A and B are shown apart, each in its own frame.
Chain A
Amino acid sequence: MSNRRSRQSSSASRISDDQIIDLVSKLRQFLPEIRERRRSDKVSATKVLQETCNYIRRLHREVDNLSDRLSQLLESVDEDSPEAAVIRSLLM
């Protein structure tokens, strides 16, 4: 395993297709769009990768939106207010 995986050689030595398929099908498990399908339903690696890209973009957008929301919420937090106390208490 270690020689197969070592990073230095990864560009030189061809990684096997099996290995890629293995990694892609692992990736598939974490994609809500195609996770739900039955296991017997094989999908193409291209499809999984496309879904992965879409999903990461979607998550990035969500984090962006949540960041905006949190910054607004924090903005409205008054230093003496109960939520400031809550934030402080969470840090203790």
Chain B
Amino acid sequence: MASLISDTEPPTTSTTTDLVRRKKKRSSVSSAASSRTSAASVSCESHTRWRSEKQQRIYSAKLIQALQQVRLNNSSAEATSSPTAQKRGRAVREAADRALAVSARGRTLWSRAILANRIKLKFRKQKRPRATTAIPVTTTVVSSSNRSRKRRVSVLRLNKKSIPSVNRKVRVLGRLVPGCGKQSVPVILEEATDYIQALEMQVRAMNSLAQLLSSYGSAPPPI
């Protein structure tokens, strides 16, 4: 139990202020663009980023905040018509994804796509806010120079026969990663590598939050 609580404890004060700042940013149309500045400093952060406890704490804090917002919206909507359980689930899902994207700090295409999608919904009437959010930096998250030590590849070499099927699979993959539908093969692969880890972290954080909440529920927790 104690470990659970510490898992979801808000991080440092600096991140709290950062969180507030982010929130402000998000409410402006230019949020996708504003992340550009921080994007430049990316690539050195390794792939362990999503696996760190700190990252999970940051995400949990953002998630809880987002969920509170959902709750507020729900209860205000309840006056008129109470949303269906399905809708509420979807609202939580969207909040969780947005929090995840914010935690990614606009470093990756997938996270910017999630945030941009929300902006599109919010300002549907306006023209598309980001004509070319094609931010030429980042995503090269995994630039090969980071891994100076030559890793032995654990994948069979491509041959003429396998290339078409590889390309097909990459296309499918590109549709699963937000914002990667029309990207090039290396970009899709790099984004997918980052996205998987972010999703894993999201699942971990949501799981421990659910456990935390249910342990406070009326029913005693199952042993």
Binding site for B on A (CB under 8 A): 1-2, 5-8, 10-11, 15, 17, 19-28, 30-31, 39, 41-46, 48-50, 52-53, 55-57, 59-60, 62-64, 66-77, 81-83, 86-87, 90-92
Contacts and interface: CB of A to CB of B under 8 A. Distances in A.
A61 to B, nearest CB: 10
Interface stretch (B27-35, B120-128, B157-165): B157-165
B31 to A, nearest CB: 21
Contacts of B96: 63, 66-67, 70
B169 A53 contact: yes
Contacts of A44: 155-156, 162
Given A46-B166, A59-B200, A74 B92 contact: yes
A90 B92 contact: no
Contacts of A75: 74, 88
A49 B188 CA distance: 11
B42 interface: no
Contacts of B154: 25, 28, 39, 41-43
A52 B172 CA distance: 10
Interface string B41-83: 0000000000000000000110011011011001000000000
27 contacts: A5-B143, A7-B184, A8-B136, A19-B144, A21-B157, A22-B153, A25-B154, A26-B142, A27-B193, A42-B154, A44-B155, A46-B165, A49-B172, A53-B172, A53-B173, A63-B203, A67-B96, A67-B206, A70-B92, A71-B91, A73-B214, A74-B70, A74-B71, A83-B216, A83-B217, A87-B68, A92-B10
